[in-house]
Amino acid sequence: MEQKTSKEVEAIRMIMQSDSPDIVTSDIFACEKEFHTFMNKVIKRRHMTRGKLLDSIGVERSYGYQILNGRRVATRNIVLRMAVYLGLSVRETQMALALAQKQALYPHNTFETVMIYALSHDYTLEQTEEFLQQLGAGSLLGD
């Protein structure tokens, strides 16, 4: 029997738990197999430049371009910063994390719970960081 990767398992879970049949035609399941390909499509869809994104999330440009070109692996915090800044849904963020081979968001501590809340309520990066700081739940801006 063929073993499923964590990305495949996460994708299947997302489809099964979706309340909307629109998930079937969603961009997040456009056969993306790599984080950088997925993220570049999101950046383009948001009519943003890669440089603007990197500057806005506090990632040094040469390092960020290496991530967006698939030559370096993003940290989990960088994936989450991108997700918040680009306004990804929780579902899209979970897909980005799976593609980056990072742990999915799960509300087992305050940091994770804040991230899910912030993504669900369209918080900005600044609002998310402020909320984390208020609760003493760590920082999204540190790696």
What's the mean per-residue pLDDT of the chain?
Answer: 89
CB atoms inside a 10 Å sphere around CB 109: 10
**How many separate domains does the chain show?**
1
Q: Is residue 141 part of a domain?
A: no
* Domain-located, residue 90: yes
More confident position, 8 or 39: 39
Task: Determine the Cα–Cα distance for residues 78 and 35; give it in Å rounded to an integer.
Answer: 12
Domain that holds residue 98: 6-134
Give pLDDT tens digits for 74-130. 999 999 999 999 999 999 999 999 999 999 999 999 999 999 999 999 999 999 999
Spell out the residues 6+ positions from residue 70 whose beta carbon is closer than 8 angstroms to its own. 34, 35, 36, 37
Residue 142 lies in a domain: no
Q: What is the CATH number of the domain that holds 48?
A: 1.10.260
Distance CA 82, CA 75 (A): 11
Q: What is the pLDDT of residue 25?
A: 63
Residue 44 lies in a domain: yes
> What share of residues in the chain are helix, strand, coil (percent, to 5)?
60, 0, 40
